[in-house]
A = this chain, B = another copy of it.
Amino acid sequence: MADVTAALFFAEMRFDPKDPHNPDSDRFVLSKGHAAPILYAAWAEAGAFDRSELLELRTIGSDLEGHPTPRLPFVDVATGSLGQGICAAIGTALNARRIKSSYRTYVLLGDGESAEGSVWEAADVATMDGLDNLCGITDVNGLGQSRATMWQHDMEQFARRWRAFGWHAIVIDGHDMSAILDALDEARRTKGQPTMILARTIKGKGVSFVEGKGGWHGKAFKKGEELDRALAELEKQFVPVPEGGSNLASRIPKPASTLRAVATPRPVAPPAYKMGDEVATREAYGAAIAKLGEADPRVVALDADVKNSTFSDKFEQAFPDRFYQNFIAEQVMVGAAMGLAARGAIPFPSTFACFLSRAADFIRMAAISNVNIKLAGSHAGVSIGEDGPSQMALEDLAMCRTAPNYTVLYPCDAVSTERLVALMAYHPGPAYMRTSRPKTPVIYANDEAFTIGGLKVLRESAKDVATVIGAGVTVFEALEAYGQLKASGVAIRVIDLYSVAPVDAAGLVAAGRATGGRLITVEDHYAAGGIGDAVAEAVAAAGLTVQRLAVREIARSGRPDELLDRYGISAKHIVEAVRALEARG
């Protein structure tokens, strides 16, 4: 890869090594993140930092980690899970259009990596969007980690796949500098479609005893004879440095500067719902992002062919240019959002919450990148009803709550949805909003204030015997249980835990202490990893424990009300749990 990287960094790309975040700078994404050392070497050579720092590679004090992360200013998104970089590159390429910049995006993939399905999701989307500002380079070295790759050096296998997916494909000898430069030039001149340069390479090129051999993946030379021999062979191939040093850095073309107005978000009007109106939170979500899009041009939305269910079509209708359709391909949807976010957009990718799990590894890497994506998942829980378990998200809270830097929000009505969408947009870092299919009544006034890490006490009295903590649809089950218990003279406290991560530990402890230490969580989610666990950890230090009502078996099709009841999270079960706790004293 040394030849390709040298060509990119010192002849092709326009960038400023001292200002890698320049908005008009060409982007380079190392999709095969395990090749990090060459990325670091190239940036050091370009002058981004001192070459001596390279010797700190993979040590705990250095940001030159085993795989690249955005701790380094010249890395847009963390790579190291294969097939993700090219999806992020779709995002940075779309972003160039969004900000009307002529910058180009280059993405370097491995041949082994090309087996990942996400690569082909990206291939389709790039073609659909005609991304001629995107240039891929596949390093076809024929060797995977554990064996030869699927197609080894059969370049035609790669060429026909990329061409079938609508890309301009160029096959070259990846060690022929003229061929590399010509291919990059051809890519730049290719209009209306993205280009993939398929570079046939020899792994370990230049060191005779490793060239093209397996068994060397991720291995350093042994110090002593082995290392000395390799260095000697490489040094023999050095081209003499001209007088005064090579000064490669000075040859890097500067980014084209684009004059553009700084976008200043306008204030967003408050929600305008009527108390008691029946509005599904997914529909309120769609309306909220459309409203936010009006106020802030950085807001964009991404879909995976369910816009009429998630109501992201409300955004598309208002801002078709900032709406990115990915068809049924959740990985590239989330990956592209990561690339857009890395370049300053505020992306809202959405689909059914259960299908976000298709992009779980991207969601994991988004945490590592600490990138500013705003995921939204609709149709959470058994309350979707008849469509059955494959369409019910019952593990999405666990998926997003586990990473320590995710904000997780779960509104129960239209007003809180709209307020929380605005909050999540401007709260830095990755965030996830869970919405529901059924219509629920508006219970908050339009001027009600919400905070990330907050909760709402909906019912309370000095005589409360227990606190019931719901979120989303179960807030209404808790309110129903409150009514039934009140009729028989029993008072309970009811909390809407709209912020699942972080949680308001102090508020939960206070409620628990005020209600005899009796805390009951009720959630339309599996018992593990969700609201019960979040509350339990928050109150543990205060010596409080939690009784969890949650879905504890594989669900099935049925009416929403039948399912809430069957899986133990309806008002009836809350009433029973309160009575049982009360009887126990």
Contacts and interface: CB of A to CB of B under 8 A. Distances in A.
A153 interface: no
* Highest count of chain B CB atoms <10 Å: which of A404, A526, A551: A404
Nearest to A566: B60
Nearest to A565: B60
Contacts of A398: 398-399, 402, 528-529
Contacts of A402: 394-395, 398-399, 526, 528-530
Contacts of A66: 386-388, 390-391, 557
A210 B325 CA distance: 25
Interface string A393-405: 0110011011111
A377 B534 CA distance: 26
A66 B437 CA distance: 16
B78 A389 contact: yes
B67 A305 contact: no
Interface residue range, chain A: 35 or more
A134 interface: no
A528 B559 CA distance: 32
Given A81-B354, A528-B401, A537-B532, A149 B327 contact: yes
Contacts of A536: 533, 536-537, 540
A47 interface: no
Nearest to A61: B558
A225 to B, nearest CB: 24
Contacts of A144: 305, 327-328
B537 A308 contact: no
A164 interface: yes
A165 interface: yes
Contacts of A527: 404, 537
Interface in A274-330: 303, 305-309, 313, 325-329
Given A69-B390, A355-B361, A399-B402, 15 more contacts: A58-B557, A80-B389, A80-B391, A115-B327, A117-B120, A144-B305, A360-B399, A368-B389, A401-B529, A402-B526, A403-B554, A405-B554, A501-B528, A528-B533, A545-B545
